[in-house]
Amino acid sequence: MNKVIINTDITQGVINKNIYGHFAEHLGRCIYEGIWVGEDSSIPNTKGIRNDVLAALKQIKVPVLRWPGGCFADEYHWKDGVGPKEVRKRMVNTHWGGVVENNHFGTHEFMLLCELLECEPYICGNVGSGTVQEMSEWVEYMTFEGESPMANWRRENGQEKPWKLKYFGVGNENWGCGGNMRPEYYSDLYRQYQTYVRNYGGNKIYKIAGGANSDDYNWTEVLMKNAHRMMDGLSIHYYTVPGDWTDKGAAVDFAEDEWFITMKKAYRMDELITKHSTIMDKYDPEKRVGLIIDEWGTWFNVEKGTNPGFLYQQNTLRDALVAGLHFNIFHNHNDRVQMANIAQTVNVLQAMILTEGEKMILTPTYHVFDMYKVHQDAQRLEVASSCGNYEYNGQTLPQVSISASRDEQGKIHISLCNIDPLNKADIEIELRGINDAARVFGSILTSGSMNDHNTFEQQDVVKPCEFNDVNVSNNQLAVQLPPMSVVTLTIES
Ligand code: AHR
């Protein structure tokens, strides 16, 4: 029997809602088609932004949205994307698919999207191919209230008041597509560029330095050593790729070997956060600098017949388990992890939403975001567990992953993932600190097969249902998790 003790009276700090953040790049059909259809589209829209996608994203309470890339950010010149649309520069998106970028979705459209979603914008500036002046002027354009060339231009373009901009990234993957730099060089550039990312008026920018590729601990070491006093956050990027970069594995057509390796690689996020945090602790023991996981998620081979540069992949129950595992890991590192942005919101990589013309479907990953949103800004609770393993071919992984929190109203939320595709998990949960769990209810996401997914023809193959396999006796819960399931329980005492 698996045993879990949750100390409901020992809180361990806030779970920053920004770990439920998103990332939308000018890549494939994420921005164009997925989010932006233009005012003249027959698809119902609000000033060019499709209404169905907006409504779905509002439901999961997107707290922060990263834009315009990704690799695109270090090729993006923001001035091309403001002013009258008919004269905006047309360019080729060389990095992603070689398609024409007409710049119809630019700064104003992005800020409108964030306003409609009621989320914080997180803009990534161009270090790789942009100048200090260009970055500095972008910040001036967006946030300066008074008289200045950039603020005047913003007003001419229809935005009288400056926007509030909190999160700003100084480059993206500068070890790779963002300029192939060495950490010593980038850390000097970071120091230089960030100097001119000014705080105008009451706008205070949280500056995020471009961080390491997965386990490049030296990058974190050098960045922290050379620049930690000049940053508020440092990023890392880590993708869950079951194969290698030449054959990443299929999104839908896989068997248990790939299921197992995917779970193993998803669990690796825990090790990466632990090790990067240990380095950060050396320079920043007070944990002032946040670890920002601004790209994460599954990365599989693209769907057959689609542009390889569009990174379009389906999304199965396996993706849902990967999302649940990540959130539990992020919760359990809430002292250092202050933001995470899944890649990407619509039609790209581990997407929440897929679209085809006017049709839209929600993926299993979307449903996990919906089930877990109760943890946003809640107090993390201490969890001690002794659970069994999921065994495959002589290898093992922890079968059950758990995290818990208490929200402002005092409700306790517990999220559990059973990653074993064949075996259920019986779990006894003791809620210390309360006498009686008066009301317990929950929802579950599971399905008959590990490959199950939603399609435009069958949209609800994988969707959450009410969860009833829980027996309550005073402060003890007996829970039965079916194989490959994600469950969120709510307890009122
Ligand atoms: O999310 C897709 C790409 O992955 C991003 O553009 C880049 O930053 C990363 O390599």
Q: What is the per-residue burial (b if ≥16 Cβ within 10 Å, else e) of 43-81? A: bebeebbbeebbebbeebbbbbbbbbbbbbbbbbebbeb
Does the structure show a pLDDT above 90 at 493? no
Query: How far, in Å, CA of 472 to CA of 437, rounded?
Result: 7
Known catalytic residues are 173, 295
Average pLDDT (333-338) is 98
Any ligand 1 atom below 6 A from CB of 173: yes
Ligand 1 nearest atom to the CA of residue 239, by list position:
4
- pLDDT for res 110: 98
Mean of the per-residue pLDDT values of the chain = 97
Handedness of CA 458, 113, 173, 18 (dihedral sign): negative
Other C-beta atoms closer than 10 Å to the C-beta of 216 total 16
pLDDT of the residue at 157? 98
Q: Tell me how far the alpha carbon of residue 15 is from its chain's centroid.
A: 14
Say whether pLDDT at 227 is over 90.
Answer: yes
Residues 18-35: tens digit of each pLDDT: 999 999 999 999 999 999
User: Looking at ligand 1, which residue's alpha carbon is closest to its atom 2?
Assistant: 70
Tokens of residue 94, six digits: 């060389």
Instruction: Compute the half-sphere exposure of residue 449: CA atoms within 13 Å on the CB side of its CA.
Output: 9
What percent of the chain clears pLDDT 90, i.e. is strictly above it?
99
Contact 488, 443 (CB under 8 A): yes
Q: For the whole model, what pTM was predicted?
A: 0.97
For residues 47 and 404, give the distance between their C-alpha atoms in angstroms, rounded to a whole number: 40
Dihedrals phi, psi of 391, to nearest 5 degrees: -110, 135
In angstroms, what is the span from residue 66 Cα to ligand 1's centroid? 12
Task: Kindly report the protein residue whose alpha carbon is nearest to atom 9 of ligand 1.
Answer: 70
In this structure, the strands spanning 64-67 and 21-23 are parallel
Whether the CB-CB separation of 291 and 337 falls below 8 Å is answered with: yes
Ligand 1 neighbourhood includes 69 CB (under 6 angstroms): yes
Q: What is the pLDDT of residues 60-110, one digit of tens each?
A: 999 999 999 999 999 999 999 999 999 999 999 999 999 999 999 999 999
Q: How far apart are CA 303 and CA 281, in angstroms?
A: 42
The whole-number pLDDT of residue 309 equals 96
Dist. CA 67–CA 169, nearest whole Å: 10
Neighbours of 226 (CB within 10 A): 18
Per-residue tokens: 173: 């993957």
Taking phi over 0 as left and psi of -120 to 50 as alpha, with beta for the rest, 177 belongs to alpha
Ligand 1 contact via 30 beta carbon (within 6 Å): no
The predicted pLDDT at position 103 comes to 98
CA angle 423, 426, 429 (to 5 degrees): 145
Q: Record the tokens describing residue 64, joined without a space.
A: 């922060």
Q: In angstroms, rounded to a whole number, what is the distance separating the alpha carbons of residues 411 and 377?
A: 13
Whether the CB-CB separation of 375 and 413 falls below 8 Å is answered with: yes
CA distance 234 to 222: 12
- Ligand 1 centroid to Cα of residue 28, in Å, is 12
From the CB of 403, is ligand 1 less than 6 Å away?
Answer: no
Per-residue pLDDT tens digits for 255-276: 999 999 999 999 999 999 999 9
Q: Are 197 and 190 in contact (CB under 8 A)?
A: no
Token match 């942005």: residue? 341
Residues 186-211 have pLDDT tens digits of 999 999 999 999 999 999 999 999 99
Test site for ligand 1: of 214, 235, 295, most ligand atoms within 8 A of the Cβ:
295
pLDDT tens sequence across 413-466: 999 999 999 999 999 999 999 988 889 999 999 999 999 999 999 999 999 999
The whole-number pLDDT of residue 451 equals 98
Q: Ligand 1 pocket: which of 177, 300, 302 to mutate (most atoms <8 Å of CB)?
A: 177
Neighbouring-strand partners of residue 372? none
CA of 68: how far to CAs of 39, 71, 88, 339, in Å? 20, 9, 16, 17
Nearest CA to ligand 1 atom 8: 70
> What is the identity of the amino acid at 187?
S
* Arithmetic mean of pLDDT, 133-158: 98
What mean pLDDT is predicted for residues 305-313?
97
Confidence (pLDDT) at 69 = 97
| 343 pocket-lining for ligand 1 (C-beta < 6 Å) | yes
**pLDDT band for position 290 (50/70/90)?**
very high
Q: Pick from 189, 153, 198: which is nearest to 170 by CA?
A: 189
Q: Please tell me the distance from the alpha carbon of residue 302 to that of residue 307, in angstroms, as a whole number.
A: 8
Q: Which two tokens stand for residue 84?
A: 């009258």
- Is the pLDDT assigned to residue 480 strictly greater than 90? yes
- Tell me the mean pLDDT in the region 289-298: 98
